[in-house]
């Protein structure tokens, strides 16, 4: 069974955080926000197809890192990643590889956009 996530509370929480930080500059802002959606499916093929579909919606590339097949988008220091753990990852070929300079975070040591991957986390 595919777990259902009610997106409305997540959207409202993100907006509430933005409003809170915007209205009270004495609260230190985080260096970034990292949101993850884990994808669960019955088979690797179904999981990979869902990651491919999400990548199509985001306009992003997919990547295979060990057994994690994923896609992600960087919105400045805010990152959203959809990921599926595959049982037999050798059946897929990655389209991109994790950036070694920023370890796939898209940010350098000063929380600035990584110059090597231009903030995508992939090369």
Site residues for Zn ion, 60-99, by CB under 5 A, read 99
Q: Choose, by CB under 5 A, the member of 48, 102, 110, 111 that binds Zn ion.
A: 102
Q: How far is the CB of 74 from Zn ion (least distance, A)?
A: 10
**Quick one: how far is CA 113 from the chain centroid?**
15
* Beta strand spans in the chain (E): 33-38, 62-65, 68-75, 78-85
Nearest approach, Cβ of residue 82 and Zn ion (Å):
19
Of these, 52, 96, 101, 113, which contacts Zn ion (CB under 5 A)? 101
Q: Which residues contact 17 (CB under 8 A, 6 or more apart)?
A: 33
Residue 72: CB minimum distance to Zn ion, A: 12
Part of the chain binding Zn ion (CB under 5 A), chosen from 23-31, 55-63, 68-76, 113-121:
113-121
What whole-number distance in Å separates Cα of residue 14 and Cα of residue 119? 21
116 binds Zn ion per the rule CB under 5 A: yes
CA 111 to CA 102: how far, in whole Å? 10
Residues that bind Zn ion (CB under 5 A): 99, 101-102, 114, 116-117
């Amino acid at each position: 069974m595919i777990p259902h996530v009610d997106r409305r509370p997540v959207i409202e929480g993100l907006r509430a955080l933005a409003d809170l930080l915007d209205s009270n500059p004495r609260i230190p802002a985080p260096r970034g926000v990292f949101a993850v959606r884990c994808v669960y499916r019955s088979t690797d093929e179904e999981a990979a197809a869902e990651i491919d579909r999400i990548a199509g919606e985001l306009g992003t590339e997919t990547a295979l890192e060990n057994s994690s097949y994923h896609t992600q988008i960087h919105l400045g220091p805010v990152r959203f990643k959809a990921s599926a753990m595959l049982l037999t990852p050798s059946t897929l070929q990655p389209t991109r590889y994790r950036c070694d300079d920023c370890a796939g975070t898209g940010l350098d040591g000063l929380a600035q956009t990584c110059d090597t991957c231009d903030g995508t986390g992939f090369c």
